[in-house]
Structure 1
């Protein structure tokens, strides 16, 4: 009885194994047939935009932040004291050198000038009398008609009279100068600020601030360069490639695209600030259209290298794999091939590729997110290698339908 049940159980197990093998074979067959049937309906290769690597001579530019400053800036203060009689300019207007800005009450200074001129006339009269007496004394002393002591006295009086004339002339010149100083004029050409003292107020000599005048054309832009950039510029200067105080700069304001204004560095400070690790530099810019106003923030680009040949790609083509950068290059069979690259700076919106690419390579710059693995087939569409002319979705969609 036991032997028979064991035999029956063995037969059942063998039957179940046979049924399982048959099912597996049937499933495998159906899977193969379904895969084979799906191949004709496989999706097309994704459309991507490819562009030829730009091979061109470039110059690298370093970026700094700066401030616009006037070449000449004057705080206007009176040189004589008195009550302001008139404000003779329009606040905020441009003035020429020598234009009248303020008038201080001139009456006391005219009276002082008249008094000084009267003193001069009296001194001249006394000097003439002393000179004539000295001349007569010379004749009398030769005839022994007067003593030598009296002659010396008359000669001294003549010299004293001449000195008195010179002193009176100096007093007249000082009084005339004070009278001129009652007319406060622009010491430089530029734009005048608001009048800080109006008519009727007392202005103290060398103390009261009347207004400010800042020059308009040209202007300076001050910026701070880091030590690494400073040392690089010094090396270029020592090599003779460039004068340290004639580096070209490009400047842009807050509301401007790019750096449309060109200028030249005309000054570099004589020391590095140990607290900040920077050195102050200054560039000069023409300002005929009055685009720049002193105090404005400026974005400054300073030419950081001599001209060299470089390969450039759009930053949108660059992907990151942990600490490595790479791009996809179009292969001969329209497949995406990975290339690890070493990147440099951005030049005119494109990224410098130092290693990893060769001239003539076709780089995927649009639709790169559709490439899931190296060697994947793609449908390329030629585009330009510029950020402004990157292909739009319609171009990629058209490429995908091919």
Structure 2
């Protein structure tokens, strides 16, 4: 039987950026719990569960009849207050014309002036009640305070809802703003120090891949780093901002993120399939000029563009077995076919790096 044939290639030499890896979860950039500002009976639900809604869009209506009646009563109060003020002004004007004839006491003039002032105050109070009742009528139509994806309705027409402070009010639904979307993650103290020394700051580009993706297709920027480490876990909380124009990224999704950890370095890369495992050792099979196979202990780096970075244990001129590894073993003789290592074509980026206005939260220095 002849010697087996294997394919060999020298490692690909490339200038790469070193990355640190993190695991995190996507979150809504803004999340609102929708609660009524007036109490009453729900008369209509004006959206489909789970649809995208626009800011200001009507979502629920509450029976407005009692609030419209209260508004009409307040408007009548304004008319009464105006009438009282007009009468008070007329009485004061008549009294002032009689002052020259000493037909009116000064105390009576003072009383009439006080009555005018009181009537003006009563009119202002009545007008304020009209504005308040008008707001109550306006609040019987519950509108979206922001654009985003709405959850399911928690109440149906016919249900009574209650206004109140905070969580005491009835929850109607929630709205999540998901473009852009946040990616939150925790980093160890060591990785935090490494990022600090590398100059990572708000606006630093990050790359993210989802659980079913092999490539880092989603681009974003570092948006926030907390102002201290958690003394219990020794980690620091951070966040990236990712554009999500097609709303594919959903709050709650997990992802793997990488953050540049330093300057570009020259590296050797080989196909992931060329790396062999022997218990805890990572090996590459190399073939010398006489066709003899040898195993090299190597230290692995990250996967970049589908190729594995080899940190140590490999020389640029080594001929690495990239195909036919199952037919080669250390000490055996093989025939070789020379090929070249080329990275697979990159997947298209799902988004461009985010370029939004600066935010108050920055990387702690």
| 1:129 aligned counterpart, secondary structure | helix
Is 1:361 the equivalent of 2:322? no
From the superposition, tell whether residues 189 and 322 of structure 1 become closer, same or farther in structure 2 (CA, over 3 Å). closer
What residue number does 1:191 align with?
Answer: 149
Contact 2:285/2:329 (8 A) holds in 1: no
The C-alpha deviation readout for 1:106-164, integer Å capped at 9, x for no partner, is: 11000000000000011011111112222333343344321111111111111111111
Alpha-carbon distance between aligned partners in 1 of 2:76 and 2:279, rounded to the nearest angstrom: 94
Q: Deviation at 1:221?
A: 1.5
Counterpart Cα distance in 1 of 2:19 and 2:340? 23
Which residue pairs with 1:329 in the alignment? 286
- How far apart are the structure 2 equivalents of 1:181 and 1:379? 82
Q: Does residue 214 of structure 1 match 2:155?
A: no
CA contact (8 A) 1:59 1:347 kept: no
Among 359, 381, 389, which residue is 2:337 paired with?
A: 381
> What's 2:191 paired with?
229
Deviation at 1:298, TM superposition (A): 2.2
1:66 match: secondary structure: strand
Q: Is the 8 A contact 1:329 1:363 kept in 2?
A: yes
SS in 1 for 2:263: coil
Q: Secondary structure at the match of 1:205?
A: coil
Q: 103-112 vs 305-314, which deviates more?
A: 305-314
CA spacing shift, 1:338–1:67, aligned 2, 3 Å: closer
| Contact in 2 for aligned 1:79/1:205 (Cα 8 Å) | yes
Change (3 A) 1:132 1:186: same
Secondary structure in structure 2 of the residue aligned to 1:67:
strand
Shift of 1:371: 4.5
Mapped partners of 2:297, 2:81: distance in 1: 96
Q: 1:129 aligns with which of 87, 90, 93?
A: 87
Q: Give the Cα–Cα distance (whole angstroms) in 1 for the partners of residues 8 and 318 of structure 2.
A: 10
Separation in 1 of the partners of 2:46 and 2:274?
A: 63
Alignment root-mean-square deviation, CA? 2.4
Residues of 2 paired with 1:338 and 1:216: CA distance? 50
Query: What whole-Å deviation, never above 9, does each CA across 1:202-240 have from its counterpart, x for those lacking one?
Result: 110131111111123221121112222111111112xxx
Q: TM-score, normalised by structure 2?
A: 0.85
Among 104, 107, 113, which residue is 2:65 paired with? Answer: 107
User: C-alpha separation between the residues in 2 aligned to 1:124 and 1:118?
Assistant: 10
Checking the alignment, whether the CA contact within 8 Å between 2:12 and 2:342 is kept in structure 1 is no
Task: Determine the C-alpha separation between the residues in 1 that align with 2:34 and 2:265.
Answer: 50
| Superposed displacement of residue 90, structure 1 | 1.9
SS of residue matched to 2:262: coil
Q: Quick one: distance in 1 between partners of 2:247 and 2:218? A: 12
Normalized per residue, which structure has more strand? 2
- C-alpha displacement at 1:247, in angstroms? 2.3
Match of 2:353 in 1: none
Aligned to 1:344: 301
| Alignment-derived partner of residue 57 in structure 1 | 15
* Structure with greater helix share of residues: 1
Instruction: Select the structure of larger CA radius of gyration.
Output: 1
- Stretches of structure 2 that go unaligned for 5 or more consecutive residues are 346-365
Change (3 A) 1:131 1:287: same
Q: TM-score, normalised by structure 1?
A: 0.78
Indicate whether 1:152 and 2:110 are aligned.
yes
Q: Distance in 2 between matches of 1:82 and 1:349?
A: 60
1:257 match: 214
Structure 1 position 319, deviation (Å): 5.0
Residues 53, 359 of structure 1: 8 Å contact kept:
yes
- Shift of the alpha carbon at 1:338? 5.2
Aligned residue pairs total 341
**Residue 223 of structure 2, aligned match among 237, 250, 266:** 266
SS class of match (1:149): helix
On the 8 A contact 2:24/2:185 being kept in 1, the answer is: yes
Q: Please, which of 74, 97, 107 is the counterpart of residue 32 of structure 2?
A: 74
CA contact (8 A) 1:272 1:278 kept: yes
> 5+ residue gaps in structure 1?
1-42, 390-402
Asked if the contact 1:61–1:347 (Cα under 8 Å) also holds between the matched residues in 2, the reply is no
